[in-house]
Amino acid sequence: MNEKNKRVCPVENAKSLDNIFRKLVQNPKKILKDYVKEGMTVLDVGCGPGFFSVEMADMVGESGNVIAADLQQGMLEKVEKKIKGSYIENRIELHKCEKDRIGITTKVDHILAVYMVHEVPDMDKFLAEMYSILKPDGSFLIIEPPFHVSKKAFEETVNRACARGFKEIKRPGMILNKAVVLGK
């Protein structure tokens, strides 16, 4: 993976990550319906402006919880502004990641990582951390963009995850994107 792919998407580009056109191609409820259920605790790592976090908060219901984690405070502020005063506000916990770790210790039922794994500086450390917080029967969905991540780089990510203890569960078909569901 080249260094260009390690660049974090700037807050100024958040609008491109959260719009009606994206929802037509990547409908969060359709993508996550098999993995996110009522009462779950889920982690949206690299949540950006909350495109998936907000929908997951609806899916987990009143008894569930979404941890929206991002490296950039500006992205978390966008999520906070979006949910302020809404019925899902208490279902979403905002968490600012550290530069070299997510820093979550809560055990989670599902982890979602959309368009961010290729940006992680230490892939093995990241995957080990995700493995440590995922419940034994949990799932980890990685979705990577079609043009930034080559097929070879994506396969390397899957292989490294399996070397850290994950098992490949399935490869969901997604238009243009590369995706894998991992479990323990």
H/E segment holding residue 71: none
Give domain status of residue 23, yes or no: no
Give domain status of residue 157, yes or no: yes
pTM beyond 0.85: the answer is yes
- Residue 27 is predicted with a pLDDT of 87
Domain that holds residue 120: 36-183
Q: Is 103 left (phi over 0), alpha (psi -120 to 50) or beta?
A: left
Residue 146's pLDDT band (boundaries 50, 70, 90)? Answer: confident
- Residue 99 is predicted with a pLDDT of 86
State how many domains the chain has.
Answer: 1
Which of the two residues, 24 and 170, has the higher pLDDT score?
170
State pLDDT tens for residues 93-141: 999 999 889 999 999 999 999 999 999 999 999 999 999 999 999 999 9
- Residue 40 is predicted with a pLDDT of 98
CATH of the domain at 158: 3.40.50.150
Give domain status of residue 103, yes or no: yes
Give domain status of residue 26, yes or no: no
